[in-house]
């Protein structure tokens, strides 16, 4: 498997890409191409073009959750495919894999809509949808985790506004937040978006689904933005015990949390253009 960072808050020195407070990864495994999240704007497309990555040959589009910094790139992606169809260029239509709540309206008081601006109906006219709460194996070694069981009390967080589905409005505990796991020969590579469901909860579920206790790497947002003391201490203790070979915490992980993480795990730098291979 090869993972390339298309969008993150940061870029790497001497790599002239665009960044934004959002996230998007491109994953290649075997003969499958997977886009994990689309960031906030069209820069994932522009960065991919500079890297020589063809986003018109995707097998899967996986969404980690429905927030705008992970889904608002859907609209420029739909334009890319529509324009390619007009020009009669070769394209491979991906299947969108995500939780059933990922495309529903999400409202935060004082801000308004922070969820996907593309509806389920609209997106289904462009790509096939596979919305599941249960794990979905995309390849023999790559699995979409589905809904994450919340087992660690220190990772319990208050709701972030409301989510409005077809039937009702309810407090948004980000039940759609999930990740991907790649089963390498050395252990698990766990790929996350924002970890609203709890980074430790995600890792535990990944180990259970994949029947492997070894963790090679965890990459993505850890949702440690000015975290409560109990949450940060719980995550640090868990990771110190787990001892993954590497950790690539990025996006929604603040400087203080990264400094603390660096004291207990082998923390690595992340930026647009970074490529990892397993």
pLDDT tops 90 at residue 239: yes
Q: What pLDDT score was predicted for residue 90?
A: 86
The number of residues making up the chain comes to 278
**pLDDT tens for each residue of 167-209:** 899 999 999 999 999 999 999 999 999 999 999 999 999 999 9
Q: Rounded to two decimals, what is the model's pTM?
A: 0.97
Signed CA dihedral, 191, 193, 194, 198: sign only: negative
SS3 content of the chain, % helix, strand, coil (to 5): 25, 30, 50
> Measuring CA to CA, which residue among 176, 171, 173, 160 is closest to residue 114?
160
Q: For residue 177, give its domain range.
A: 2-277
**pLDDT tens for each residue of 62-121:** 999 999 999 999 999 999 999 999 999 989 999 999 999 999 999 999 999 999 999 999
Within a 10 A sphere around the Cβ of 52, how many other Cβ atoms?
Answer: 6
Asked if residues 66 and 114 have their Cβ atoms less than 8 Å apart, the reply is: no
Q: What pLDDT score was predicted for residue 167?
A: 80
CATH code: domain of residue 194: 3.60.15.10
Domain count for the chain = 1
> Measuring CA to CA, which residue among 277, 255, 256, 253 is closest to residue 8?
253
Query: Which runs of E-coded beta strand occur in 72-131?
Result: 95-98, 105-108, 112-113, 128-131
Return d(Cα 78, Cα 126) in angstroms, integer. Answer: 7
Instruction: Tell me what percent of the residues of the chain surpass a pLDDT of 70.
Output: 100
Q: What pLDDT score was predicted for residue 160?
A: 96
Q: What is the mean pLDDT of the chain?
A: 97
pLDDT tops 90 at residue 166: no
**pLDDT tens for each residue of 207-228:** 999 999 999 999 999 999 999 9
The two counts, helices (H) then strands (E), for the chain are 7, 17
Coil, helix or strand at residue 234: helix
């Amino acid at each position: 498997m090869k993972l390339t960072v298309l969008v993150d808050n940061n870029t790497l020195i001497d790599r002239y890409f665009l960044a934004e407070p959002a996230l998007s990864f491109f994953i290649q495994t075997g003969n499958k191409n997977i886009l994990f999240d689309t960031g906030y704007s069209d820069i994932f497309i522009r960065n991919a073009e500079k890297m020589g990555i063809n986003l018109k040959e995707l097998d899967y589009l996986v969404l980690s959750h429905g927030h705008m910094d992970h889904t608002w790139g859907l609209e420029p992606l739909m334009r890319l495919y529509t324009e390619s169809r007009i020009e009669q260029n070769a394209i491979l239509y991906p299947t969108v894999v995500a939780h059933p709540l990922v495309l529903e309206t999400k409202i935060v008081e004082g801000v308004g809509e922070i969820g996907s601006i593309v509806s389920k109906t609209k997106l289904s006219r462009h790509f096939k949808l596979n919305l599941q709460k249960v794990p979905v194996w995309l390849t023999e070694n790559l699995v979409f985790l589905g809904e994450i069981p919340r087992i660690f009390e220190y990772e319990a967080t208050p709701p972030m506004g409301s989510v409005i589905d077809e039937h009702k409005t309810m407090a948004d505990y980000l039940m759609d937040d999930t990740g991907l796991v790649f089963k390498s020969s050395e252990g698990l590579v766990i790929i996350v978006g924002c970890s609203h469901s709890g980074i430790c909860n995600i890792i535990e579920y990944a180990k259970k689904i994949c029947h492997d206790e070894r963790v090679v790497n965890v990459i993505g947002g850890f949702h440690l933005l000015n975290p409560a003391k109990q949450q940060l201490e719980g995550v640090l203790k868990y990771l110190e015990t787990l001892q993954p070979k590497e950790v690539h915490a990025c996006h929604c992980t603040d400087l203080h949390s990264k400094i603390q993480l660096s004291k207990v795990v082998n923390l690595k730098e992340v930026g647009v253009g970074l490529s990892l291979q397993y």
